């Protein structure tokens, strides 16, 4: 069944939009809560903790620290910069009062880290908008000049 020559041309922008928007939504869904978590922990007191190795950029590394005589193991947020830390190292973390599972490395709660986390999805959005603008301008048909009879 032939759908005509213009069918794919009309569907392609929708497929491209979905292919661009889905990763952007996922970036915002990961980076904004991680930045918010770090901002909320900025005023908490630093506590010494034991670092447990893992894929920290994906949120799979943990720390163990003492709170009121109990050992608490908590996961570090997505995007944690753990370069230079090895299994068993002592690190400073900030834990939310009343929520011992909500922690972040003390060095990751500064304004620069939060800004970097938020710059990732914003930069991706700007690149997507730039690519869309280039696509629209490139596909624009040139106007035919007016011919004199």
Three-state SS letters, 125-140: HHHHHHHHHHHHHHHC
Distance, in Å, from the CA atom of 38 to the CA atom of 73, rounded to the nearest integer, reads 18
Mean pLDDT, range 96-121, rounded to an integer: 82
Cβ within 8 Å of residue 48, ≥6 positions away: 65, 90, 91, 92
Q: What is the pLDDT of residue 1?
A: 46
Contact 108, 114 (CB under 8 A): no
Q: What is the pLDDT of residue 104?
A: 86
Mean pLDDT, range 92-96, rounded to an integer: 87
Whether residue 8 has pLDDT greater than 60? no
Mean pLDDT, range 61-72, rounded to an integer: 87
Share of the chain above pLDDT 90, in %: 1
Q: What is the pLDDT of residue 7?
A: 55
List, for residues 69-92, the tens digit of each pLDDT value: 889 888 888 777 777 787 888 888
């Amino acid at each position: 069944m032939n759908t005509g020559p213009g069918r794919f041309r009309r569907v392609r922008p929708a497929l491209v939009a979905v292919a661009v928007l889905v990763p952007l939504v996922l970036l915002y869904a990961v980076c904004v809560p991680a930045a918010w978590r770090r901002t909320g922990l900025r005023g908490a007191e630093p506590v010494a903790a034991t670092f447990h190795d893992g894929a920290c950029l994906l949120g799979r590394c943990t720390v163990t620290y003492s709170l009121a005589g109990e050992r608490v193991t908590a996961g570090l947020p997505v995007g944690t910069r753990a370069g230079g830390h090895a299994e068993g190292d002592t690190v400073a973390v900030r834990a939310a009062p009343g929520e011992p599972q909500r922690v972040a490395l003390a060095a990751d709660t500064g304004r620069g880290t939060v800004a970097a986390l938020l710059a990732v999805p914003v930069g991706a959005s700007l690149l997507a908008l730039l690519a869309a603008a280039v696509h629209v301008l490139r596909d624009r048909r040139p106007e035919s000049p007016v011919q004199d009879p």
